[in-house]
Structure 1
Amino acid sequence: MSLQEDVISIDYLKRALRFYENIDIASQLMGPTDEAPYTSLIIRFTEIGGREATIDLEMSFLPGLQELNQGGVYLFQSFAVLASQTVKEHEMELLQAISILNIQLPLGNFGVFPDGGALYLKQTAMLSREGLVSGDAVKLLDQQNGVLLHQLHQFTDYLLDVSAGKQKAESTLL
């Protein structure tokens, strides 16, 4: 990524951090690490669903897309882990439940990593350089996050129950 694009993406994340801090939502800017070689903004959602789960939403620009970025196009991903592990023996049922939900979601998709891996919600947006530097960019991000938060409230308990074998995919209440 060129210096200009680095400045644009980091500035956007910093503006988003200030926005969430100003409305008292727990948030933190995380610098690149060996495991995650990019800067990300983490916001914490609490009291999700009947379990009142705490879920962190990680937002970052996808790394390794220098040519796109130099052309003024950025891919911005929001990623939330609902459960760090799932029960492998219920994986097929969970995948069925996820496929039933995903076809109806207005934004993003649920997924699960294989062999008992993490259950997640992810959304990727294509953003322009002009859009990122506009005054409304962070507000638009927050509106998208509102939709993701609604989906987490609506479906986290259900997906965790399916993952634990407490509920079947056919019992989806949509």
Structure 2
Amino acid sequence: MSSKEEILASIRQHTQTRYEKPDLERMERLVYSDKVAQFCTISRAVGGEAVVLGEGEDLNAIIRQTYPDARRIASVLPEITCATFNPDDLEDPRELDGTDLAVVAGEIGVAENGAIWIPQTVKHKAVYFISERLVILLDRTRIVDTMYDAYRILDKEEFRFGAFISGPSKTADIEQALVMGAHGAREVLVILK
């Protein structure tokens, strides 16, 4: 018997009360009456920002107004005309170092925690994490209530790589001091189309 099997056998032997796995289909789940409003509120609570693109508003103008100092703007999206380079044109992901802003597409938003599923649609997934700021475009009709709902959708679709991102990167490991941008973008703006 391996160490892992011994440990699991010991846990099973010493478990006093056992519970059956709940029937997830019959469980009452969170349902938000206004998923977009809930998503925006939670996005702000986790340190990010979410805005709803108004009728006739220029997406590129919003990005430029929000980040006027951004010089290196990466995007593969054809509607992002303010991008200064296409990250897929780079051979080495290390060339992404120094990217001020990346504009990417999100697939699914989650109202309960402000997370967005971002599938890899670029050559180098480092662009999602190395840029100082991240703008995520998301179709507002693709916001679901809970992570459970999001995973049910993901279970039916095939993605090579993807990540849930909720607000800017942050950690409070060292002396319990909050540090933004420790493992990824320092700022995250979600634009709901």
TM over 0.5: no
Query: Which structure has the higher relative contact order (CA within 8 Å, separation 6+)?
Result: 2
**Counting strand residues as a fraction of each chain, which structure ranks higher?**
1
Please tell me whether Structure 1 or Structure 2 has the larger radius of gyration of its CA atoms.
2
**Counting helix residues as a fraction of each chain, which structure ranks higher?**
1
TM band (smaller chain): under 0.3
Query: Could you tell me the TM-score, scaled by structure 1's length?
Result: 0.28
